[in-house]
Structure 1
Amino acid sequence: MAAFAAAIGLLLSLLGLSRTAQAEPAAAATGIHVQDGRVLESNGNDFVMRGVNHPHTWFTGRTAALGHIKELGANTVRVVLSSGDRWTRNDVSDVRNIVSLCKQHRLICVLEVHDTTGYGEEGAAASLDQAADYWISIRDALRGEEDYVVINIGNEPHGNTGYERWAADTRGAIVKLRQAGFEHALMVDAPNWGQDWTHTMRDNARSVFDADPQGNTMFSIHMYGVFEQESVIRSYLTHFVNAGLPILVGEFGHYHSDGDPDEDAILRITRELGLGYLGWSWSGNSGGVDYLDMVRDFDPASLTDWGRRIFHGPDGIGDTSREATVYGSGGGEDTTPPTTPGTPVASDITATSVTLSWAASTDNVGVTGYDVVRVATGSETVVATSAGNSATVTGLTPQTGYSFAVYARDAAGNRSSRSPAVNVTTADGGGQEPGDAACSVAYRVVGEWPGGFQGEVVISNTGTSALDGWTLGWSFPAGQTVTNLWGGTVTQSGSAVTVRPASYTSVIPVSGSVTLGFTGTWTGSNTSPDTFTLDNSACTTA
């Protein structure tokens, strides 16, 4: 019998499976853990991640971002680390500080090693086994933090070459960490640069999950160009839900160089299914993907279109995030909202801005911030956020009436009732005559292929008042046709193109800009247009 048992153990090892995982019951997990396909806290409360990615390893001096991310309502931050194989290693002291800051700002901390990105296709990439060695080397920074930390073993650990090894490599890394004594919840990324277009993770997820003797592994899919259709998004996520396996969207954006992911569907479907999401990324993107920044130059007061969408749009972080109950009083879930703020009082009214102040709210666990909203018939739009009981709203139009109100948010993610509104009429701007150019447009071809291309249009407000509800027009000189556009809605008659904004691009503040992207077709030549109008007034070209 001993020889037979040894043979079985050898066979399982060759198959990349853990004999312990197959033969023994799962150990009781501590802290954040998985149960019946859901992510739970140690007290058994459901926890749905709502947050963003922060590129810490490349911007180690930008740790204030964690507080800013929390102020905008996130309950989780995924922090980029390096094992030292490709970038500067984040050591025990640095990781300990990151965990401390996450806890200080009442965030759940998902820590990930980025050096594994595209392994097998990217020559400098590290393996998952090397990533596991890194986690073991910094274990002192993670010991006892199971309530607050999830270990994302390695980012996008296989490209489109050698991805067939993903399941065995992932099982091996999980077992290595468990044998080293890690009791944290583990997160594993999909291959194919995180997008799993081959369904390798989907089809092997059960064997990977079963390899964890604690049964405490969750799966992360990154949704970019592979996930352009709502049906594809829903099919992929519901496959895991129906299988009783924990899944979240660990990265996604509103656009990507490999296609146009349907961010509205991602946000809506994850909300419907009760699944987590972590958008990419806070700031610091470069190399042609700058459009994925949520704020400009790490400034929380300068949200991009993408930032406004994920934080303040439907099914976004502001609508759906709930703080981890581990930070609540006694560990119980706080469902008590703050008291209603006082009616705002307007001061310092100019042609384009107004300062509002209000009586502060109170709350049993503390008020963390306020959302100022512009109220219109049947709708409201967040126009400013503040940690205190005053804020300045900018980007207004001269001699225009507005109505503003305020919400308070507490540390558990609860939102107060809306305050009574105050009506404000801005001052006369003066100086700018109707028909003057108040805009600048930059047009460029991002990529081109036979018969098709991708274009980008950046509209900048060079005037003295906000542009609200604009209409952009241009004519193609060579008969090109727009086939798909994001950031607005397009109509085309012959060569004439008209674009009206989406809800999240409708306001262009003074000195601000919005970016539109589109795909199109061409024949003969792809000459760029050189004349643009905004609200029937000519814009300068950049």
Structure 2
Amino acid sequence: MLLRGANIMHSEWVAQWGMDMEWERRAIPALSGSWNGNICVRGFAADPVDADNPQYLGMLDEYVSLTARSRIYLMLSFRSYGINGEQPEMPDDRAARALAKLAARYRGRSHVLYSLQVEPHDVDWATLRPLFEDMVDAVRTAAAPHVPLIMVPGTDWSRDLTGAIDDPVRRENIVYNSHPYNPSSDFQRLFGRAHDAGLPVFVGEFGPFDPMTMADVVDLLSFTRQRGIGWAAWSFDHDDPNPLHKLVHQSLLPTTPYGTTVRSEMLATPPLP
């Protein structure tokens, strides 16, 4: 099964002013329809989940419903503590508790996946690995008897999966998530070696953001195609600085060359079983 899709974060960006899902109601069906995507990635804030904020949880509930109706997967990834807040260096008990709450809330929803953090940084793998194992256990306990797939980020803003090659997370149904906003010459070092070592790998973010160029994006799509590695591009939000598409007269038109290139690759994705 090959997962290809995009990140959609608009409702998080505007949630501090109002829980607005208008964009997602258009974007998620388009991602699965005319773009042939099969996964949507959504970073979330832990504090409103832990506080049982009904508006915030209702927004995530609608993500779950929209992706289910569109027959695509949804990855919920811990991003910050406050709504649209800064990304912490590493997760703590609040993040683990929020992930477990969501796993219990969406127990049995087989299209919902979880990611332990969007982008850890300024922390080494030896520190993260045992913490990640505890977080996996919390999610699995909350989701039981179901066993949802869980994404584990790398170090250096989730770019680098090297540490997991010799010291993997000691749990099953784990996929390692890289965000290689880098020149293509770095791909093998950052996540290719982990794939070659037999670790399941997913590229959870990428795009033409310095130092990654459009040429590197093309190389990434080729690199992942040759190895059967799934990905989710950044981003499917029309108000992003460099989006996959633009909103023109109420139509979602791919940007050129970024959107057209990613969409062309996505259209070639094999159908889900």
- TM-score bracket for this pair, using the shorter chain length: 0.7 to 0.9
Q: Which string of whole-angstrom CA distances, capped at 9 and with x for unpartnered residues, describes residues 76-106 of structure 1?
A: 11123222379x9674433232112111111
Whichever of the two has the greater Rg, that structure is 1
Q: TM-score, with normalisation over the residues of structure 2? A: 0.81
Query: Is residue 104 of structure 1 aligned with residue 56 of structure 2?
Result: no
CA distance in structure 1 between the aligned counterparts of 2:91 and 2:229, rounded to whole angstroms: 28
Q: Which string of whole-angstrom CA distances, capped at 9 and with x for unpartnered residues, describes residues 162-215 of structure 1?
A: 66522232222112223434521101112211212xxxx3223554432x2xx1
CA distance in structure 1 between the aligned counterparts of 2:165 and 2:80, rounded to whole angstroms: 22
Q: Match for 1:180: what amino acid?
A: A
Greater relative contact order structure (CA < 8 Å, 6+ sep): 2
Taking the TM superposition and a 5 Å limit, the aligned residue runs for 1:404-483 are: none
Partner SS for 1:301? strand
Partner SS for 1:223? coil
Taking the TM superposition and a 5 Å limit, the aligned residue runs for 1:208-219 are: 208-210=168-170, 212=171, 215-219=172-176
Q: TM-score, with normalisation over the residues of structure 1? A: 0.43
* Pairing partner for 1:155 from 96, 110, 118: 118
* Pairing partner for 1:204 from 149, 164, 171: 164
Cα 1:166–1:297, aligned 2, differ >3 Å: closer, same or farther? farther
Partner SS for 1:256? coil
Maintained 8 Å contact 1:206/1:245: no
Partner SS for 1:133? helix
Cα 1:162–1:207, aligned 2, differ >3 Å: closer, same or farther? closer
Shift of 1:282: 0.6
Query: Is residue 127 of structure 1 aligned with residue 84 of structure 2?
Result: no
Maintained 8 Å contact 1:91/1:138: no
Maintained 8 Å contact 2:6/2:234: yes
Cα 1:161–1:186, aligned 2, differ >3 Å: closer, same or farther? closer
Taking the TM superposition and a 5 Å limit, the aligned residue runs for 1:132-143 are: 132-143=96-107
Maintained 8 Å contact 2:28/2:67: yes
Query: Is residue 174 of structure 1 aligned with residue 136 of structure 2?
Result: yes
Maintained 8 Å contact 2:107/2:143: no
Partner SS for 1:114? strand
- Residue 49 of structure 1 corresponds to which residue in structure 2? 3
CA distance in structure 1 between the aligned counterparts of 2:239 and 2:158, rounded to whole angstroms: 18
Taking the TM superposition and a 5 Å limit, the aligned residue runs for 1:235-314 are: 235-253=189-207, 255-260=208-213, 262-284=216-238, 290-291=241-242, 293-297=243-247, 300-305=251-256, 306-312=258-264
What 5-or-longer segments of structure 1 have no aligned partner?
1-46, 121-125, 326-542
Q: Match for 1:149: what amino acid?
A: V
Q: Match for 1:115: what amino acid?
A: S
Q: Match for 1:309: what amino acid?
A: T
Shift of 1:243: 1.9
CA distance in structure 2 between the aligned counterparts of 1:307 and 1:273, rounded to whole angstroms: 22
More helix by share: 2
Q: Match for 1:296: what amino acid?
A: K
More strand by share: 1
Query: Is residue 232 of structure 1 aligned with residue 186 of structure 2?
Result: yes
Maintained 8 Å contact 1:75/1:106: yes
CA distance in structure 2 between the aligned counterparts of 1:83 and 1:295, rounded to whole angstroms: 29
Maintained 8 Å contact 1:51/1:317: yes
Cα 1:181–1:324, aligned 2, differ >3 Å: closer, same or farther? same
CA distance in structure 2 between the aligned counterparts of 1:150 and 1:169, rounded to whole angstroms: 19
CA distance in structure 2 between the aligned counterparts of 1:244 and 1:109, rounded to whole angstroms: 25
- Residue 17 of structure 2 corresponds to which residue in structure 1? none
Maintained 8 Å contact 2:151/2:174: yes
CA distance in structure 2 between the aligned counterparts of 1:235 and 1:93, rounded to whole angstroms: 40
Cα 1:285–1:301, aligned 2, differ >3 Å: closer, same or farther? closer
How many pairs were matched up?
252
CA distance in structure 2 between the aligned counterparts of 1:318 and 1:245, rounded to whole angstroms: 26
* Pairing partner for 2:45 from 50, 64, 82: 82
Q: Which string of whole-angstrom CA distances, capped at 9 and with x for unpartnered residues, describes residues 497-528 of structure 1?
A: xxxxxxxxxxxxxxxxxxxxxxxxxxxxxxxx
Cα 1:50–1:169, aligned 2, differ >3 Å: closer, same or farther? same
CA distance in structure 1 between the aligned counterparts of 2:98 and 2:270, rounded to whole angstroms: 31
- Residue 220 of structure 1 corresponds to which residue in structure 2? 177
Identity score, percent: 19
Q: Match for 1:58: what amino acid?
A: W
CA distance in structure 2 between the aligned counterparts of 1:73 and 1:208, rounded to whole angstroms: 32
Q: Match for 1:63: what amino acid?
A: E
Cα 1:175–1:163, aligned 2, differ >3 Å: closer, same or farther? same
